[in-house]
């Protein structure tokens, strides 16, 4: 990442998450820069996915999960007094999951779903244009433009994941959260999604959880290393992988644990 100062899109301050009595996040402070890719890395169970879910209040859907601290999106609070409405929040902060999860509907209807339920389009022509635009941005248009009426479940895994990215883009989010988006994909499909992440960062703020340090190094500008519920170190990806300041980070990136 260049040294230029970038705007903060989201900020987390003293974020703690409990699942019942278990403390899964122990006070996370993190700035998420706009129009950059931030990678969350760390050993299994360190709290990466839990933190990601705090960013669009997906933890609200988990019984027993309790979030405290402050998170903002463009300085507006996500939790507490004056919080952004969660439905609006999830439009502004979209999510792509580990396993491609298209709806059992046509390719067209998968992408049109969000704009329809949020009433974003006045007529069929606008909806058609929005679907084409989202599929184009997700790098899938050329492959599916002649089969928009086919079932999405008939696409390959990699195509399904790009469809899920198109579905997320269709509601015009500002931030896209990705939870290990390539872990179910083969190397070719992974390369396509990684290329796409790079292109999407021009228009969106992206936060990605990944188990692959190579992937974090390839796609992200900023890397945050988590360990046992704490954020150990965050910085420009190149520095984290070449000159980490913390021994724990060094141990993880050199494969000594994790
Ligand atoms: N729904 C839940 N109920 C209870 N405990 C949970 C729940 N989800 C996560 N945890 C616990 O919280 C901690 C953090 O989990 P989380 O899934 O956020 O870690 P992670 O770093 O994303 O792990 P992984 O890389 O294996 O996906 C773990 O100890 C996990 O067991």
N-terminal to C-terminal alpha carbon distance within the chain: 26
Nearest CA to ligand 1 atom 24: 44
pLDDT of residue 6: 84
- CB of 97 closer than 6 A to ligand 1? no
Structure tokens of 205? 């703020």
- CB of 59 closer than 6 A to ligand 1? no
pLDDT of residue 78: 98
pLDDT of residue 4: 64
- CB of 66 closer than 6 A to ligand 1? no
pLDDT of residue 143: 96
Separation CA 190–CA 210 (nearest Å): 12
Nearest CA to ligand 1 atom 29: 45
Sheet holding 65-73, edge to edge: 22-33, 8-19, 65-73, 76-77
Tens of pLDDT along the chain (258 residues) come to 445 668 999 999 999 999 999 999 999 999 999 999 999 999 999 999 999 999 999 999 999 999 999 999 999 999 999 999 999 999 999 999 999 999 999 999 999 999 999 888 889 999 999 999 999 999 999 999 999 999 999 999 999 999 999 999 999 999 999 999 999 889 998 999 999 999 999 999 999 999 999 999 999 999 999 999 999 999 999 999 999 999 999 999 998 877
pLDDT of residue 1: 46
Indicate which atom in ligand 1 lies nearest the CA of residue 229.
14
Percent of the chain with pLDDT over 70: 98
Kindly provide the ipTM of the predicted complex, given to two decimals. Answer: 0.97
Query: What is the CATH code for 8-253?
Result: 3.40.50.300
pLDDT per position as a tens digit, 164-190? 999 999 999 999 999 999 998 899 989
- CB of 44 closer than 6 A to ligand 1? yes
**φ/ψ bin of 47: left (φ > 0), alpha (ψ from -120 to 50), beta (otherwise):** left
pLDDT of residue 120: 87
- CB of 115 closer than 6 A to ligand 1? no
Indicate which atom in ligand 1 lies nearest the CA of residue 226.
21
pLDDT of residue 3: 52
The long-range contacts involving 13-16, CB below 8 angstroms and separated by at least 24 positions, are: 13/69, 13/70, 13/71, 14/68, 14/69, 14/70, 15/51, 15/54, 15/67, 15/68, 15/69, 15/70, 15/71, 16/67, 16/68, 16/69
């Amino acid at each position: 990442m260049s040294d230029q100062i970038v705007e903060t899109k989201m900020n987390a301050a003293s974020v703690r998450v409990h699942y019942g009595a278990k403390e899964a996040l122990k006070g996370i402070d993190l700035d998420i820069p706009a129009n950059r890719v931030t990678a969350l890395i760390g050993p299994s169970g360190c709290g990466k996915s839990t933190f990601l879910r705090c960013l669009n209040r997906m933890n609200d859907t988990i019984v027993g999960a309790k979030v405290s601290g402050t998170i903002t999106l463009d300085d507006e609070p996500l939790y507490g007094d004056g919080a952004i409405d969660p439905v609006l929040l999830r439009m502004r902060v979209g999510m792509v999951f580990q396993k491609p999860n298209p709806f059992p509907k046509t390719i067209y209807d998968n992408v049109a779903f969000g704009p329809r339920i949020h009433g974003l389009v006045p007529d069929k022509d606008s909806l058609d244009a929005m679907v084409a635009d989202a599929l184009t941005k997700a790098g899938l248009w050329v492959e599916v433009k002649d089969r928009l009426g086919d079932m999405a479940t008939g696409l390959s895994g990699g195509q399904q994941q790009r469809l899920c990215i198109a579905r997320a883009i269709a509601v015009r989010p500002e931030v896209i959260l990705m939870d290990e988006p390539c872990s179910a994909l083969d190397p070719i499909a992974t390369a396509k999604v990684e290329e796409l992440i790079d292109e999407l960062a021009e228009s969106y703020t992206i936060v990605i959880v990944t188990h692959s340090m190579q992937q974090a190094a390839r796609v992200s500008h900023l890397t945050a290393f988590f360990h046992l519920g704490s954020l150990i170190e965050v910085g420009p990806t190149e520095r984290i992988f070449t000159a980490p300041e913390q021994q724990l980070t060094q141990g993880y990136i050199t494969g000594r644990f994790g």
